Structure 1
Amino acid sequence: MKLHRLARRELLAALGFLAPSLAGFSVFYLIPFGQSVLNSFQDRLGGSFTLSNYKELLLSSSFQKAASNTFWFTAISVPILVAVSLMLALLLNQRVFIRNWLRTAYVLPLVVPVASIVLVWQILFDWNGALNAVLQHFGHSRHDWMKSEWAGFVIVLVYVWKNIGYNVILFLAGLQNIPDPYYEIADLEGAGSVRKLFGITLTYLTPTTFLVVLMSVLNSFKVFRETYLVAGAYPHDRIYMMQHYMNNMFLSLDIQKVSSAAVFMALCITALVLVLFRTERIFRSYME
């Protein structure tokens, strides 16, 4: 009986501490999303149930362009970010010169405001920017980086630079948790560097790699801030993302289109996360 009362008191205390967070989450996230789902199935007059909003959404050329760009951006930028982060983490895990300084340098993008980051990249890739000045110095013509097909390359570069520090920290934490005796035994058995990399390092980094991939995918859907600040509300077709489409529909007060796009995007992200969880579970069971 006493144990039951104690457990009940602990449960009430836990709920009391969680109440402010749960209230904030409900007011600012859960309830608005529920209202968006409801709006996506209604016409502009708030009438009966309809699927016409989703039909118009999927047939919209602007939405198709935004969805395609978002998909390709995620498919290209995430593998690049994960691979570069892993290579840098492997390098920083060794006893190299100025290792501590390099670790600090990779963390700096996490603490610098987004507006400052965008200002730096604007200075580099603007028509009168530093990169065009270098090209002109060597006899090449200036290039309008943000108004051409190269705009996608610029956004990928900004995304990788902004998020690489966080991923390097996660990989370093995973590398430092691998027991040293495994490498010592591998050395005694004559295993080479490649064999140790794939047989020990990458095997024990599986949970960390999954977390890094998951966070990188989610962060790839947040690149709208950088894209918007660099290229504005109507950028080049190459970097017209889902968030651009929803932002423009919101400005035109087309709430049904915004809600439909938001629900569609949420479903896509959820499906992608579930696939990643399933893949990680299968891979982990295979490695065991």
Structure 2
Amino acid sequence: MNKSKNLISFLIFIAPSFLGVIIFVLMPFGDVLKRSFSTAITGQFVGVSNYKTIFQNQAFLLAVKNTLRFTFICIPLLVVIGFLIAWPLSKLKNAGIIKSIYLFPLAMPTATIVLVWKMVFYKQGFLNILLTKIGEWLGTWGMIQTDYLDTEAAFWVLVCSYIWKNTGYTVVLWLAGIAGIPAEFLDAAKVDGAGSIQRIWYIVLPNLKGSLYTIVILSFLNSFKIYREAYLVAGAYPHKSIYLLQHTFNNWFVNLELDKMAAAAICTGGFLFIIILLLQKMWDRDEAS
């Protein structure tokens, strides 16, 4: 009897959330799935024709290449840089102000960040002024007026912006994980003669797998949100090095090519889902071992 009451209470408790997921997540996703097999105007069933079309579309393939390149460069850099900052901070007793400084970029509006980009990297920007002054001082080059956001350098500007903006929460997550490691473990390793690098490798990092999993997942998802900065800087058709999946989706939406957009959305969602499942499987296997 108690089990039945507990079950009923549990179902009543989760019903609102579960209903919300059905209405606002599963039903829209089902509609997108249906549209991916239909024409945009008439809704006629066309099978996998939309999927063939997007994988023959050069703009989509370029966007996939750039997005994957951006993700697989940024995530390792963010994880490593965050830890290299968090480890020394974890030894400070009063690091609250420093942590607040690292979190400050998250509080800055995207439009403000974009304005800073333009002030630094456009033809008459601060970077070119600085390089010109250095060239005049050394007597080796003249005036420099490179529009970095219209060259291959735009990709690395985007990478630096992503790392600058997201390092703060990465540092905080690393610090939370480091704080959960029993001090006795580190003290015992130190007594046994382990050096600082050995303590980090054999004690600290194995105990931070949970933090690493959380950081990687959040960083992976956030890497797909960098579109706002790229769009505000260079518009719907930026330099090819920073033409991302979201640019493709936006341009298809403006042109009402909803069938292609639906097929691409299903592929992107499926890819993200598979990656998260693989990370979860790796995490569960490490936990079991």
What is the TM-score when the length of structure 1 is the normalising length? 0.91
In structure 2, stretches of 5+ residues that fail to align are 136-142
Counterpart for residue 93 of structure 1: 90
Q: Distance in 2 between matches of 1:4 and 1:276?
A: 35
Q: Distance in 1 between matches of 2:204 and 2:211?
A: 11
The structural deviation recorded for 1:27 is 3.9
Identity percentage of aligned residues: 36
Q: Distance in 1 between matches of 2:10 and 2:22?
A: 20
Counterpart for residue 105 of structure 2: 109
RMSD over aligned CA atoms reads 1.9
Counterpart for residue 179 of structure 1: 182
Q: Distance in 1 between matches of 2:60 and 2:284?
A: 33
Counterpart for residue 127 of structure 1: 123
Aligned length in residues = 281
Deviations 1:49-105 (Å, cap 9, x if unpaired)?
A: 411100011011111100000111101111111110111111211228x73332110
The residue type paired with residue 14 of structure 1 is F
- For 1:34-45, list aligned pairs within 5 A: 34-44=30-40, 45=42
- For 1:1-288, list aligned pairs within 5 A: 1=1, 3-4=2-3, 6-7=5-6, 10-11=9-10, 13-15=12-14, 19=16, 21-44=17-40, 45-95=42-92, 99-139=95-135, 141-285=144-288, 288=289
Conserved? CA contact 1:233–1:244, under 8 Å: yes
In structure 1, stretches of 5+ residues that fail to align are none
The structural deviation recorded for 1:12 is 5.6
Q: Distance in 2 between matches of 1:245 and 1:93?
A: 42
Q: Distance in 1 between matches of 2:232 and 2:215?
A: 26
The structural deviation recorded for 1:121 is 2.2
Q: Distance in 1 between matches of 2:80 and 2:155?
A: 19
The structural deviation recorded for 1:126 is 2.3
Q: Distance in 2 between matches of 1:23 and 1:120?
A: 43
CA shift in 2, pair 1:50/1:12, >3 Å: closer
The residue type paired with residue 45 of structure 2 is S
Conserved? CA contact 1:82–1:167, under 8 Å: yes
Q: Distance in 2 between matches of 1:151 and 1:12?
A: 51
The structural deviation recorded for 1:29 is 3.1
